[in-house]
Amino acid sequence: GENVEQHPSTLSVQEGDSAVIKCTYSDSASNYFPWYKQELGKRPQLIIDIRSNVGEKKDQRIAVTLNKTAKHFSLHITETQPEDSAVYFCAASNTDKLIFGTGTRLQVFP
């Protein structure tokens, strides 16, 4: 089955800097790759997603890139703000379920 690995597990950046989180997946049939943000004690919330027919997608300060050949995808957050501090999960899907990565705890220091 699908296996998703995510790095780094923790990431600390200064406000205004960029943050990059990387994920790799194992199942070449996976074709949907969402990213979720989870604040402490809250539900995961979708922040951006990408499908396999697209290499890059951007939404304001957030962008995701996908390399299907290498089976990896990345989340890029530019001009980070303290409110970006949270745990970020990547996920992959090719069937009726999402397989999540292990999460990255992002801390943005003012």
Report, in Å, the least distance between residue 18 CB and another protein: 24
Residue 33 binds another protein, judged by CB under 8 A: no
Report, in Å, the least distance between residue 48 CB and another protein: 11
Report, in Å, the least distance between residue 44 CB and another protein: 5
Counting other chains too, the contacts that 25-32 makes at CB distance below 8 Å and 24 or more residues apart are 25/71, 25/72, 25/73, 25/92, 25/99, 26/2, 26/71, 27/1, 27/2, 27/3, 27/92, 27/94, 28/68, 28/71, 29/94, 30/2, 30/92, 30/93, 30/94, 31/93, 31/94, 32/92, 32/93, 32/94
Report, in Å, the least distance between residue 70 CB and another protein: 21
- Interface with another protein (CB under 8 A), residue from 21, 98, 106, 108: 98
Residue 102 binds another protein, judged by CB under 8 A: yes
Give whichever of 15 and 51 is closer to another protein, judged by the CB atom: 51
Which residues form the interface with another protein (CB under 8 A)?
Answer: 31-32, 34, 36, 42-46, 49, 89, 91, 93-103
